[in-house]
Structure 1
Amino acid sequence: HIRTHTNEKPHRCPTCNKSFSRLENLKIHNRSHTGEKPYICPYEGCNKRYSNSSDRFKHTRTHYVEKPYSCKMPGCHKRYTDPSSLRKHIKAH
């Protein structure tokens, strides 16, 4: 937690030189280079895979949680389970 305040990032990716404050974040980042996606959606019939558990969790909510975040653009009826997905969608308009 302290490294968040000091901006210390001692863990460097040997492939692209991006730095991280936590070793665990470097391990997750490394999967972007290897293509490893060990986290599988548990929803029956869905075979989506993710490199980290938080992205999988965000995805699994799409199967069973209401989608309270809606796009306000005229003619667009897209809805999302989380505000970050809505923001990403709006940038695509």
Structure 2
Amino acid sequence: YRCGFCDYSTRYKGNLLVHERIHTGERPFACRLCSHSFSHRSHLTTHLRRHTGERPFVCSLCHRTFTRKNLLSVHFHK
């Protein structure tokens, strides 16, 4: 599957559809609590943690909490 806007290609149609949102500006995942919308469902999931206060990633050494796994990883490797 080839992107109609650039040289990107993939074996999977779903990946192409997600990629093409970069070009079309489509943001189908909208927050019900504010005006933000996102091109990826995972970005909405992370955003919702701002509203709920959920911080599911916990440092096993100091018990500090994080909204995203990569932030925990950065913290852990300091």
TM-score w.r.t. the length of structure 1 is 0.59
How far 1:37 moved relative to its partner?
Answer: 0.4
Whole-Å separation in 1 of the counterparts to 2:25 and 2:74: 27
In the alignment, structure 1 residue 58 sits paired with structure 2 residue 55: no
Q: Give the alignment partner of residue 35 of structure 1, picking from 31, 38, 53.
A: 53
How far 1:2 moved relative to its partner?
Answer: 2.5
Give ranges in structure 2 of 5+ residues lacking alignment: 1-18
The residue number in structure 2 matching 1:81 is none
How many residues align? The count is: 60
Whole-Å separation in 2 of the counterparts to 1:2 and 1:58: 30
Give ranges in structure 1 of 5+ residues lacking alignment: 63-93
In the alignment, structure 1 residue 6 sits paired with structure 2 residue 24: yes
Which 4+ residue blocks in structure 1 deviate beyond 6 angstroms?
Answer: none
Partner amino acid, structure 1, of 2:41: L
How far 1:5 moved relative to its partner?
Answer: 2.8
Pairwise CA RMSD: 1.2
TM-score w.r.t. the length of structure 2 is 0.69
The sequence identity of aligned pairs, in percent, is: 37
